């Protein structure tokens, strides 16, 4: 999809206009927090039907508490035909029976709250299921009161064949056209994803009111916020014009007409006023926004504008793809990754906030994608954790990431479950002339099912996920990669994640400090400095000195030696003890090899996939 490149230029929302909606608790609590994503059908199965469920999650709450996370983000558990694994919702106010009941969800909510954790629900309001009562009414007749709750258009003449055709040339994200013909009324409806996921028409005030009422209903039940799926797609150019069609593509790219569209800021601010304003507890709002630019993100996340707390952007997870096409993978260059993440760090340094992630339910496993899932799996998994979590922003841990779970090897298309994969395979082999072997090879590195194999709890046949037949196969490496082996092992990936999370909680510099990228042109070593001045620290801790962290990670399987000007600290002392200048000795506070007692030097050698985090105090 084409990235939306023009920042919205509308004036910022007035701070004074909504001065009465502040909550009484710390609105920036999420800066110190770590979020853990659960994909329910793959987390833990309590009734052995092969599908994870809410009671299964409840049984693992002490595990999450031990890990140290602050928030659980729950992928959709609403009633759904499961065409897109729950992202096609047919009832927003009930739990699908495959996952449990509303009573189970309340027990989960209470269990998290009693352990000091919060619950964020995944929310899909760009589209519904075609089985949702709203759409059933909408498609029943052209004059139904809910007809304009969705995007309906009459056929147009095909520009090449003069036959009735789709209203425009847009393609669906899940292959095929973005329009489905409805025989009953003789019109097409828009679906940017599956044909069973018709897009809601947010131009309708009634649609927006219904969505806000539903969101308030969930908050009243104790939910602590929402992660909102493709939320920047809800405002569309009402003309729905054709998009450019690239050579070799069957359909046009309509993203310029629906990504961060003309009324998106208006809609999100209205949502804030109608749903979140005046609530008496801290909440979290996260907008998943494909194609969002850094300029747009500053507007979306500026607290004064009251839209969302942070966005999920996809720039860094498209760097290992040719022209953003995940089915054409390429080797990631570390310098590209540093430029991308560094640009987001810089852009949101003064206003707004970053979300930090390597993986989620839509991405391949982090250690297989960015690390080395072979000989150096544990070391690289730990290094990736340290690098990510010590950036400025709120880090997200996807289930199993804390164990170093890897990509799966799928032997045949019948082993896959993801609609995106199945549709692409059918289109590529049927219409684009590719062989089955070619398509399977292209699918392997980045397909979404890599992340959707069940969590590996122990070394048993199905990894302790279920004693039944799992809905998707468990990775056979559960024999040596599992929670039972790691939870009480001080040298495990799990234990290292606990250390990294604890460092965020204990060191204000991690949440609040400035970010400075170092060695931007080095193709193997990722290095940066975090700094919190004595004055800034004193605001939260009386008379406390300033603190700096120096973070170094080797993204290769060979020793790498780097030279750091001033020892990486941004001054001429090279990390030496200079108390008269207000500088103190540096100590190694975190590493994935045995810790050494030495401080930093102008030249440092990092072993394969090594992480080193140094800390020093300073009074300047």
Catalytic residue numbers read: 229, 288
d(CA 389, CA 380): 14
Report the C-alpha gap between 215 and 123 in whole angstroms. Answer: 9
Query: Which parts of 408-518 fold into alpha helices (H)?
Result: 419-430, 436-443, 483-486, 493-506, 508-512
Query: Are 497 and 65 spatial neighbours (Cβ–Cβ below 8 Å)?
Result: no
Q: How far apart are CA 393 and CA 267, in angstroms?
A: 25
Q: In Å, what is the CA distance from 162 to each residue of 155, 157, 253?
A: 11, 5, 22
32 within 8 A of 445, measured Cβ to Cβ: no
Residue 562 CA to residue 523 CA, distance in Å, equals: 11
598 CA to centre of own chain: 37
Q: Please choose, from the candidates 26, 6, 33, the residue with its C-alpha nearest in 3D space to the C-alpha of residue 299.
A: 6
Using an 8 Å Cβ cutoff, are 601 and 575 in contact?
yes
Taken in order 502, 506, 512, 514, is the CA torsion positive or negative? negative
Interhelix angle for 334-347 vs 294-301, to 10°? 40
CB atoms within 10 A of CB 143: 7
Residue 89: CB atoms within 10 A of its CB come to 27
Question: Among 517, 549, 516, 513, which residue's Cα sits nearest to residue 533?
Answer: 513
Cα-based angle 418, 422, 423 (whole degrees, multiple of 5): 115
Long-range CB pairs of 556-559, under 8 A, 24+ apart, other chains included: 556/524, 556/608, 556/609, 557/372, 557/375, 557/376, 557/608, 557/609, 558/524, 558/608, 559/605, 559/606, 559/607, 559/608
Do the beta carbons of residue 308 and residue 299 sit within 8 Å?
no
Angstrom distance (rounded) from CA 488 to CA 511: 28
If we measure between CA atoms, which residue out of 453, 434, 172, 408 comes closest to residue 328?
Answer: 434
Determine the Cα–Cα distance for residues 122 and 291; give it in Å rounded to an integer: 19
The answer to whether the CB of 477 falls within 8 A of the CB of 406 is: yes
CA distances from 222 to 35, 94, 105, 421 (A): 17, 15, 10, 36
Of 518, 512, 498, which is closest to residue 541 (Cα–Cα)?
Answer: 512
Tokens 């008496």: give the residue.
280
Residue from 560, 574, 561, 573 nearest 602 by CA: 574
The closest of 415, 413, 399 to 476, measured between CA atoms, is: 415
Tokens for 385, please give them: 């954790």
Identify which of 404, 575, 369, 399 has the alpha carbon closest to the alpha carbon of residue 489. 404
């Amino acid at each position: 999809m084409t990235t939306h490149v023009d920042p919205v230029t509308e004036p910022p929302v007035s701070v004074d206009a909504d001065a009465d909606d502040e909550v009484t608790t710390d609105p920036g609590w999420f800066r110190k927090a770590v979020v853990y994503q659960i994909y329910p059908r793959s987390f833990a199965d309590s009734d052995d039907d092969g599908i994870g469920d809410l009671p299964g999650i409840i049984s693992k709450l002490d595990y999450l508490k031990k890990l140290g996370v602050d928030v659980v983000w729950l992928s959709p558990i609403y009633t759904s035909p499961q065409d897109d694994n729950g992202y096609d919702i047919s009832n927003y106010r009930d739990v699908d029976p495959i996952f449990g009941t509303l009573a189970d969800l309340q027990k989960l909510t209470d269990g998290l709250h009693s352990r000091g954790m919060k619950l964020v629900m995944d929310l899909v309001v760009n589209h519904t299921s075609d089985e949702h009562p709203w759409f059933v009414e909408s498609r029943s007749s052209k004059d139904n009161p809910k007809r304009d709750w969705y995007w309906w258009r009459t056929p147009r003449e095909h520009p090449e064949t003069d036959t009735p055709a789709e209203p425009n040339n847009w393609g669906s994200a899940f292959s095929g056209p973005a329009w489905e013909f409805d025989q009953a009324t003789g019109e097409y409806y828009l679906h940017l994803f599956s044909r069973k996921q018709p897009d809601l028409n947010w131009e309708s005030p009634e649609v927006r009111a219904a969505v806000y009422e539903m969101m308030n209903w969930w908050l009243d039940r104790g939910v602590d916020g929402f992660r909102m799926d493709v939320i920047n797609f809800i405002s569309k150019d009402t003309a729905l014009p054709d998009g450019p069609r690239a050579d070799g593509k069957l359909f046009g790219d309509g993203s310029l007409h629906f990504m961060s569209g003309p009324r998106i800021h208006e809609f999100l601010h209205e949502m804030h006023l109608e749903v979140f304003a005046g609530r008496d507890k801290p909440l979290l709002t996260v907008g998943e926004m494909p194609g969002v630019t850094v300029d747009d993100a500053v507007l979306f996340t500026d607290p004064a504008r009251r839209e969302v707390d942070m966005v999920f952007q996809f720039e860094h997870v498209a760097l290992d793809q040719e022209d953003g096409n995940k089915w054409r993978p390429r080797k990631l260059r570390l310098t590209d990754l540093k430029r991308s993440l560094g640009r987001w760090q810089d852009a949101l340094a003064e206003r707004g906030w970053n979300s930090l992630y390597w993986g989620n339910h839509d991405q391949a496993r982090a250690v297989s994608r960015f690390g080395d899932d072979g000989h150096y799996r544990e070391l690289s998994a730990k290094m990736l954790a340290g690098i990510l979590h010590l950036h400025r922003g709120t880090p997200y841990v996807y289930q199993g990431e804390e164990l170093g779970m890897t990509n799966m090897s799928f032997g045949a298309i019948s082993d896959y479950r993801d609609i995106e994969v199945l549709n692409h395979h059918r289109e590529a082999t049927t219409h684009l002339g590719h062989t089955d072997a070619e398509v399977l090879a292209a699918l392997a590195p980045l397909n979404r099912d890599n992340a959707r194999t069940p969590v590996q709890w122990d070394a048993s046949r199905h990894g302790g996920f279920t004693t039944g037949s799992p809905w998707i196969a468990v990775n056979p490496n559960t024999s040596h990669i599992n929670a039972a082996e790691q939870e009480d092992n001080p040298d495990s990936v799990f234990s290292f994640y606990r250390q990294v999370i604890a460092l965020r909680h204990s060191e204000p510099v991690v949440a609040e400090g400035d970010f400075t990228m170092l060695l931007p042109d080095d193709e193997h070593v990722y290095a940066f400095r975090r700094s919190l001045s004595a004055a800034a620290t004193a605001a939260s801790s009386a008379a406390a000195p300033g603190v700096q962290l120096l973070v170094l990670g080797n993204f290769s399987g060979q020793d790498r030696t780097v030279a750091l000007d001033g020892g990486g600290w941004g001054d001429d002392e090279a990390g030496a003890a200079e108390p008269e200048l207000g500088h103190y000795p540096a100590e190694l506070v975190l590493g994935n090899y045995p810790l050494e007692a030495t401080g930093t030097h102008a030249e440092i050698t990092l072993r394969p996939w090594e992480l080193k985090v140094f800390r020093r105090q300073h009074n300047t």
